[in-house]
Every structure is written in C-alpha cells, then in structure tokens.
A and B are shown apart, each in its own frame.
Chain A
C-alpha cells in the first residue's frame, strides 16, 4: 500500500473533528448556565453542576436504573441461552439438527418492526405488559447470538471436551464447567453488543410500558424533548449525558473487543 498523503490525512482529521463535535457540544453545554447553553464559546468560571442536580430531581435517575436492570438481565440470560443452543448445534448429535438450525436462522429474516404489533399482543396476553418481564423476556430471544456461538464452537478445540468426557463429566458438565469459561473471546463482544442494543432500545419499551415507574432512559429522554413545552436544554443535555455514560464507558474500556465484535458480525 502506498504512503498516506498529507492532503488525505488532513481531510480525515477535519471530518473526524466534525464527527466528534456534536459530542463535544453535548458534554460542554450540559455544564453551562441555561442562558449560555447555545453559546459556542466557553467561559470556565460560569460552568456549573446545577443541571445535573436538576436532573437528579426528576425521574431520569430511576429510568437509568430501569435501563440498567433490563439491559443487564437480558444480556446475562441471552448469553446463557444462546451459548447453550450454539453449543448443541455445533457439537452435539441429535435428530432434526439441521432443520432446527435452519428454522432458527430463518427467524433472522423477520424484522422487529414487522412483528411489533402482534408481539405486543402476545406479550400482553401472557400478562407481561407494563412489567419488567415484558421489557425483558421478549428481548432475550434472537438467532443472532445462537449463530455466532455456533460458529465459535465449531472451531473450538475438541480434545479438551474429549478429555473431560473421559474423566466422567457429563455433556452438560463439560459445557458449563469447561467450555463456557473458555468462551471469553466470544462472550465479551456479545456482552457489549447485547448490552448496547438493549440500552439503546426505544421502540419496544415505548410500546410495552405505560407506567412512569417502568420508563427506561430512552423513553424518559424522548418525553422531555417531546413534551410540547419550551425545551430546558441545559437540563436535557445533562440528562442525555448521564444516559450516554454506560455505553461510553463500554466503548472506552472495551474498544478492542468492540472492534473484534464488529469484525465478527460483519464478515461471515
């Protein structure tokens, strides 16, 4: 490959700065006095934490907690179920294996927005609307994780499992005590993926919950800006910044794994 030319590098960084500019304004403006919020200049002496104090007096904090619970539970349970199924499909022999795999994969072709109405009805019929169960359980199931776990276990060294089996461990024992703890390299990117997806989720929580108490952070934020009143921008931005922190932390501490995950999902 040829050497990078200076013009190209300059352009990449100018566009790169434009890419992060909105995030800069999110952060800096959330520390500004309400009357300065639109000002592009920064006067350090007028920066304040009042906006965050104001946020703590609203229900945003509770909404962040709800998002946290939902995202965490979905992620943990989905990882458990998806890894088990992926392992069975990659390693075990049983009747109807091909058909079951094909059927599971075919559910990937059904976009969420197409089934949102009947999914709402099914969930309601099961008595789960307006509850954590309704927020959590339907989001656990998708074939994406199953597919990626299956790919991963197909390339997993077989010798270890054979040794464990010789030692008298059952299949389930082998999986839970030996294989699963060694699956970190797929669990980490999928954890980021599942958690981020659920932290992001807006449409499903919007549909399935009406109680203020069950509001997740995305719905709560959307409600403030869509309230029909003059938007109190300094407070809204402070709330948005708080809502962005979990995914930002994941991003910074796990950038390497995030990139791995992108590679994994992008190139099959």
Chain B
C-alpha cells in the first residue's frame, strides 16, 4: 500500500471506528456513567423529587449511620448472602460433578431437569412458589402433612420467610451455575484423572486434587457474581413479601427502593445506594484478594 493511501485509510479507519463506538459512548455515558456521578451529587442534598434540591453536605450520611432500620436491612442482606452464596456454590458444584459422570442422553436429560427453572422469570417464580407455599392448603404443606410433619407458615412467618425466599432464588439459579461448572469440568483432560487413578486416588481425592484446583477461575467468577447478585436481591422479595412479615425480609435494595419511590426521599436513598455500592465493591475486592492469594 502506498504511504498516502495508508494515511488516508488511517483517518478513515478512525472515523469509522468512532462512528461504530458513538452510540455506546453516548449511551453508556448518559445511562450509566452520569447516573453514577449524579447518585453521589444527589446524596449530598435533601430532595423529594418535586421541590428544588437543598444542599446539606454529608447530613444524609450522618443520618444513615444512625438509621437502625437501614443497618438491619444490611444485616439481613448479609444473612441472605451468607446462606445463599455457599448453598448455591456447593449445590451447583456438587451436581455438576455428579452429572459430569453421566453420559449421553441420560446426561442431557439430567441437565435439562436442573436447567428448566432457569427458563422461568423472577416474578413468575415468585408467583409459583407463593402458590406452593400457601400456608392453608399449599402443595408443600399437603406433602408435609402426608409424611406426618406439621404445616409451616413459610412466607407468613418471621422465622421462615427469608429462607423460603432463598429456596426460590436457589431453585432459579442452580441449573445455570451448574452449567458453568459443568463446562469447566468438561475442559479438564481425562488423562489427569487416569493418572490419578493409577496413583491410587479415590473419587473424592481426584476431586480435591484435580477438579477443584482446575476450576478455580470458574469458582471465583461464580462466587463474585453471586455475591454481587445477592446484595441486589429484590424481585422475588418485592413480589412475595414486600419486606414483611414484620420487616423480616426487608433487604437493602428494598429499603432503598422504599425510601426513593415510596417516601420520595431521593437524597437519602441515593446516600444509601452509595454506601451499598461501597459494600458490594469492597466485598468483591476481598473475594478477589483471597482467591489470588492461593496461587
């Protein structure tokens, strides 16, 4: 190519490139980047979304520091995460390993059974399970009665509501995460297992020394994504309990949502959102640190 032609192409190439990037540059700026900065700006104001904003400095942050209901919602979100993340991780890894030992049509069928709930949306899953959990004559209580166990209140009980919701979210996401593990496990060359068997490794040992270390990246990915996700849990809770009974399922995002869109306390809700972001962000940093240390 001639020099002149090359230079011409360079500018044409740059122009085309910017043309190709422009919609996303504008869109990501307007709908993600600006809101992010704006969230912090609004958090320094007293604002009910209707009257003009009043600058109050860090007052919203002082207020949230003393807001017991907020910290209780953070605590509930932690409890949710501490139960949900290990349960999802453990179960999806367990069933991935179990299903990876199957072959052919049997394997395909087993995978489909686990993955099917993933085709259901969050609101519909909430609807189905509200039906199953019905305390008076729901299917689960009928089953419990059949095996001689007492009926439960599920979503109507302060002790059982959160765990009942965790079950629904586990049910939805188990198959998807299992598939990610399964894909990673399938990438491991069979020779490794054969060599281990010759060395006398039993099933559990070959899992511990081969499978587990070799799917480390997938593990990190799943742990971080599910932790971030569980700190944002909203849909099922909003539909099934709206935070009740007696606030027992009021997680942080729900609390923020109520402050913003029910009490129209936009400045305060924004301050809460900023704090939640810092919590999520530091948690994923900690997770990354822990895992990269194991090298």
**A residues whose Cβ falls under 8 Å from a Cβ of B:** 1-4, 8-9, 11-13, 15-17, 19-20, 22-23, 25-26, 29, 38, 40, 81-82, 84-85, 87-89, 92-95, 97, 100, 104, 107, 109-123, 126, 137-138, 140-143, 146, 170-172, 175, 199-200, 202-203, 206-207, 218-219, 221-222, 225-226, 231, 233, 236-237, 240, 243-244, 247-248, 250-251, 255, 258-259, 262-263, 265-268
Contacts and interface: CB of A to CB of B under 8 A. Distances in A.
B13 A121 contact: no
Contacts of B121: 199-200, 202, 218, 243-244, 247
A23 B13 contact: no
- Interface range on chain B (Cβ under 8 Å from partner): 35 or more
B116 to A, nearest CB: 5
B154 interface: no
Nearest to B16: A171
Nearest to B112: A255
B276 A114 contact: yes
Given A13-B110, A202-B123, A267-B218, A92 B24 contact: no
A113 B256 contact: yes
A82 B142 CA distance: 50
Interface string B9-23: 010111011111101
A172 B28 contact: no
Contact of B14 (A89, A95, A268): A95
B8 interface: no
Nearest to A123: B31
11 contacts: A1-B101, A2-B193, A4-B103, A16-B110, A85-B23, A92-B20, A122-B34, A222-B123, A237-B127, A240-B128, A263-B183
B95 A12 contact: yes
B180 A23 contact: no
B179 A262 contact: yes
B273 interface: yes
Lowest 6 CB-CB distances: which A-B pairs, in order?
Answer: A16-B113, A266-B180, A141-B27, A251-B119, A118-B35, A84-B20
Q: Chain A at the B interface: mostly helix, strand, loop or mixed?
A: helix
B234 interface: yes
Contact of B281 (A100, A109, A240, A247): A109
Interface of B: 10, 12-14, 16-21, 23-25, 27-28, 30-36, 38-39, 42, 49, 95, 98-103, 106, 110-132, 134, 137-139, 142-143, 171, 174-176, 179-180, 183-184, 187, 190, 193, 197, 203, 217-218, 221-222, 228, 231-232, 234-235, 238-239, 242, 253, 256-257, 260-261, 266, 269-270, 273-274, 276-277, 280-281
Given A111-B277, A248-B119, A226 B101 contact: no
Nearest to A124: B49
Given A92-B20, A118-B42, A122-B34, A267 B277 contact: no
Contacts of B257: 116, 203
A118 B38 contact: yes
Contacts of A3: 101
A175 B21 CA distance: 14
Nearest to B10: A93
Contact of B28 (A20, A119, A141, A258): A141
Contacts of A118: 34-36, 38-39, 42, 270
B127 A240 contact: yes
B95 A25 contact: no
A84 B22 CA distance: 9
B266 A262 contact: no
A123 B10 CA distance: 37
Given A111-B232, A122-B31, A251-B118, 15 more contacts: A9-B102, A93-B10, A93-B13, A94-B14, A104-B28, A111-B231, A118-B38, A122-B34, A175-B20, A221-B123, A225-B127, A226-B242, A247-B121, A265-B180, A267-B184
